[in-house]
């Protein structure tokens, strides 16, 4: 099921980017002036997993299919046919699929024929055919049937044409006495093409093969060009690349002729090629020949819209870059002498809080979920559209009994129905599989608890020894995360898995995958291992894992004992880091968060250490309330709590009055940290100073 789109109006509205490139609004509602004349750029939408690239292309397809020739393929998943011959490659398979999708007649579009591409693919399909194995030739020819049907559907459907082609081939094999395999390939290709032309091509279409006269060594003779194309394809290497590029040109030439022939006045708009995951090698094989031809002055009128998960892909180094909102009314793409200047790279931006609210309103129009839930989900997901959409759907489908007390963490515990014909699926596992499609996410979940590469390697040595047969587990995980375009923290950083949403999903898996409440053996083992790794002293990292294990006593004592020290900013920074520990939640736990009662001083038995005088006891309790307040208020899986935020202000101001030399930073924190929380920002340090300088 295609999911809803939010915040993509710049691309999709009636005068948006696609309409200005295609010359047509969705559903052919109206014509639109072409922004780039007869030289549209190849537009590449860039963004990581879950940023809505595929959903955007599907929405474009849904809006334009039947109104202009259109094809959508996934460059990462071209199905390889069983027992194919050497003439099949991902590129030839993709070209055939594109043509078959572009060809049909639609509600407001006439069919498109692909005679040039058909001849080229027939020529290369004949590679490897022999008189001893005509069954392979038969299979390859039948596989080309849908493509040949774009030339003449009636003849492609008729019985007998394959047999006649094979009979012609048998005669060609008898005559093929040339000693060189390449020459035999050329002769077989010529015989195959000749028979296919006789079978499928009428008087006017037979001129199509003349287009191959411009191929190298053809001397203007189309049949010779097709022979040479087959020979080059068989040779492999650079020659095959040249042949494949020419075949891409055959596709765009057939599309161009559909718009410039005798009946060109009956077509409106421009054809759309939609290439998902174009950062894969196939995407580059399809796009670069088009760019090179355009740089040489060719005008093909084809609108290419692609996606790339890799923003800084080498192929985009000379592209004009812009952000999605900036394309709403115009998207200039100035050309220079470089081939890549014909690319327009559009960064897909995260959803805004308002757009996230719209997603929740769509699934919960009565507003029965907490008012801050959509904003909290926006904080957790960073506005990543896939995360927002899935969690909004989960909120709308949540049982009525829990809907009013939902938190982001509670949403991850739910199931959601994505298809009417399939049972509900777990939210957290489904979202994780979309964002990190790896066969075995277990090692990633373990290492998500680490802070940097060093701690990840120590953790892997202790907990993932069985995974080390293929090399260092932590480095393998690091490299795979980078390959998936996820940020991995450098040495000394706060988290090995830097993205908050991905880290939260992996830690959710670590805690709940084994379904062993109340032991949570994997969770405890991982955090105990890291706790030991950081030694016996109460360092911030050790205390961080104490909190993850549900123990706060040592952390409270440490911050009480170090409170009088002069480095108050350092004290606040350590407190902030320790309180960023993941909370050891119970799945589906109802009622208030237990940290709330502690933060508000409402816990019946705070469990004080022995031997504290009244003044030290007051400091200990204040630090305890402060630590739990920060832990709760900064937890991305929890909702903000205004009463706890007021208490945070109160505790910091009281502490500023107790410190002999550092009252200023504590007072500033009392002022600015609650503001940061209400603005959904990370707690600033120094208080009031943010990365943007504001």
Instruction: Report the range of poorest mean pLDDT among 65-79, 248-262, 484-498.
Output: 484-498
Q: Are residues 421 and 477 in the same domain?
A: no
Does a structural domain hold residue 443? yes
Asked whether the predicted pLDDT for residue 325 surpasses 50, the reply is yes
Instruction: Report the range of poorest mean pLDDT among 47-61, 150-164, 358-372.
Output: 150-164
Does a structural domain hold residue 362? yes
Asked whether the predicted pLDDT for residue 501 surpasses 60, the reply is yes
Q: How far is residue 296's CA from residue 337's CA, in Å, rounded to a whole number?
A: 10
Which pLDDT does position 203 carry in this prediction?
65
Of the three residues 219, 237, 267, the one that is the final residue of a domain is: 267
DSSP-derived letter for residue 275 is E
Q: Is 192 within 8 Å of 169 (Cβ atoms)?
A: yes
Joined tokens for residue 604: 């019946």
Instruction: Name the pTM for this structure.
Output: 0.91
Asked whether the predicted pLDDT for residue 133 surpasses 80, the reply is no
The average pLDDT across 422-437 equals 95
Q: Where is pLDDT greater, at 621 or 182?
A: 621
Mean pLDDT computed over every residue of the chain: 89
Which pLDDT does position 138 carry in this prediction?
80
Q: Are residues 601 and 496 in the same domain?
A: no
Q: What angle do CA 89, 90, 96 make, to 5 degrees?
A: 90
Q: Where is pLDDT greater, at 175 or 79?
A: 79
Asked whether the predicted pLDDT for residue 173 surpasses 80, the reply is no
Q: Are residues 387 and 284 in the same domain?
A: no
Q: Are residues 465 and 413 in the same domain?
A: no
Q: Are residues 56 and 113 in the same domain?
A: no
In this predicted model, what pLDDT tens digit does every residue of 52-102 receive, in sequence order? 999 999 999 999 999 999 999 999 999 998 878 888 999 999 999 999 999
Q: Are residues 179 and 229 in the same domain?
A: yes
Q: How far is residue 57's CA from residue 197's CA, in Å, rounded to a whole number?
A: 36
> H or E segment at 343?
strand 343-347
Q: How far is residue 629's CA from residue 201's CA, in Å, rounded to a whole number?
A: 78
Of the three residues 373, 397, 432, the one that is the final residue of a domain is: 432
Does a structural domain hold residue 457? yes
Percent of all residues in the chain with a pLDDT value above 70, rounded to a whole number: 92
Q: Are residues 288 and 337 in the same domain?
A: yes
Q: Are residues 467 and 514 in the same domain?
A: yes
Tally of structural domains, the chain: 5
Q: Is 185 exposed, middle or buried (0-12, 13-18, 19+ CB in 10 A)?
A: buried
Of the three residues 432, 467, 487, the one that is the final residue of a domain is: 432
Asked whether the predicted pLDDT for residue 175 surpasses 90, the reply is no
What are the backbone dihedrals phi and psi of residue 496, each rounded to the nearest 5 degrees, phi first? Answer: -65, -45
Q: Are residues 396 and 338 in the same domain?
A: no
Domain extent at residue 589: 534-694
390 to 288, 402, 423, 457, 503: CA distances (angstroms): 36, 18, 16, 33, 17
Q: How far is residue 574's CA from residue 543's CA, in Å, rounded to a whole number?
A: 10
Return the HEC string of 28-92.
Answer: HCCECCCCCCCCCCEEEEECCCCCCHHHHHHHHHHHHECCECEEEEECCCCCCCCCCCCCCCHHH
Q: Is 84 within 8 Å of 135 (Cβ atoms)?
A: no
Which pLDDT does position 131 carry in this prediction?
67
């Amino acid at each position: 099921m295609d999911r809803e789109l939010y915040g993509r109006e710049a691309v999709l509205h009636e005068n948006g980017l696609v309409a200005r490139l295609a010359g047509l609004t969705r559903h052919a509602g109206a014509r639109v002036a072409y922004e780039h004349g007869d030289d549209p750029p190849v537009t590449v939408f860039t963004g990581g997993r879950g940023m809505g690239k595929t959903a955007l292309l599907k929405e474009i397809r849904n809006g334009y299919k039947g109104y202009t020739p259109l094809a959508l393929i996934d460059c990462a998943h071209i199905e390889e046919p069983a027992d194919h011959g050497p003439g099949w490659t991902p590129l030839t398979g993709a070209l055939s699929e594109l043509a078959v999708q572009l060809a049909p007649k639609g509600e407001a579009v006439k069919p498109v024929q692909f005679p040039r591409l058909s001849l080229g693919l027939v020529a290369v399909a004949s590679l490897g055919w022999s008189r001893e194995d005509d069954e392979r030739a038969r299979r390859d020819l039948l596989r080309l049937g849908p493509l040949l049907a774009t030339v003449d559907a009636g003849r492609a459907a008729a019985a007998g044409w394959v047999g006649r082609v094979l009979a012609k081939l048998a005669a060609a094999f008898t005559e093929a006495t040339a000693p060189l395999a390449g020459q035999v390939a050329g002769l077989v290709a010529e015989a195959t093409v000749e028979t296919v032309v006789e079978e499928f091509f009428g008087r006017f279409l037979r001129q199509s093969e003349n287009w191959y006269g411009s191929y190298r060594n053809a001397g203007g003779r189309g049949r010779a060009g097709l022979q040479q194309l087959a020979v080059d394809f068989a040779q492999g290497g650079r020659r095959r690349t040249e042949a494949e590029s020419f075949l891409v040109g055959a596709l765009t030439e057939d599309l161009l002729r559909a718009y410039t022939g005798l009946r060109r006045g009956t077509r409106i708009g421009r054809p759309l090629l939609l290439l998902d995951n174009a950062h894969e090698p196939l995407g580059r094989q399809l796009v670069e020949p088009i760019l090179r031809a355009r740089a040489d002055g060719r005008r093909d009128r084809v609108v290419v819209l692609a996606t790339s998960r890799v923003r800084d892909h080498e192929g985009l180094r000379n592209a004009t870059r812009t952000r999605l909102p900036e394309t709403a009314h115009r998207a200039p793409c100035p050309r220079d002498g470089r081939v890549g200047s014909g690319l327009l790279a559009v960064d897909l931006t995260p959803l805004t809080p308002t757009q996230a609210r719209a997603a929740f309103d769509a699934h919960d129009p009565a507003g029965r979920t907490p008012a801050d839930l959509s904003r909290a989900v926006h904080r957790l997901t960073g506005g990543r559209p896939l995360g927002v959409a899935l969690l909004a759907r989960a909120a709308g489908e949540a049982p009525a009994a829990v809907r009013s007390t939902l938190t982001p963490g509670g949403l991850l515990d739910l199931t959601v129905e994505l298809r009417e014909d399939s049972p509900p699926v777990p939210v957290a596992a489904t979202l994780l599989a979309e964002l990190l499609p790896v066969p075995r996410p277990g090692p990633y979940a373990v290492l998500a608890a680490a802070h940097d590469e060093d701690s990840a390697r120590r953790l892997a040595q202790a907990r993932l020894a069985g995974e080390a047969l293929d090399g260092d587990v932590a480095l393998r995980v690091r490299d795979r995360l980078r390959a998936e375009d996820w940020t991995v923290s450098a040495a000394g950083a706060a988290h090995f898995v830097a993205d908050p949403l991905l880290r939260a999903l992996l830690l959710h898996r670590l805690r709940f995958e084994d379904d062993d409440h109340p032991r949570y053996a994997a969770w405890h083992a991982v955090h105990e291992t890291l706790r030991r790794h950081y030694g016996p002293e109460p360092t911030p990292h050790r205390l961080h894992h104490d909190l993850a294990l549900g123990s706060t006593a040592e952390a409270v004592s440490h911050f009480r004992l170090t409170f009088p020290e002069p480095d108050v900013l350092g004290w606040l920074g350590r407190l902030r880091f320790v309180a960023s520990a993941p909370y050891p939640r119970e799945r589906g736990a109802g009622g208030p968060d237990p940290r709330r009662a502690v933060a508000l001083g409402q816990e019946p038995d705070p469990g004080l250490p022995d031997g504290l005088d009244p003044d030290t006891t007051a400091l200990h309790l204040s630090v305890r309330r402060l630590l739990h307040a920060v832990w709760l208020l900064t937890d991305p899986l929890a909702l903000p709590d205004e009463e706890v935020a007021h208490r945070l202000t109160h505790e910091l101001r009281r502490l500023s009055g107790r410190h002999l030399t550092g009252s200023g930073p504590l007072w500033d924190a009392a002022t600015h940290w609650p503001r940061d929380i209400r603005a959904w920002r990370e707690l600033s340090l120094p208080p009031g100073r943010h990365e943007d300088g504001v």
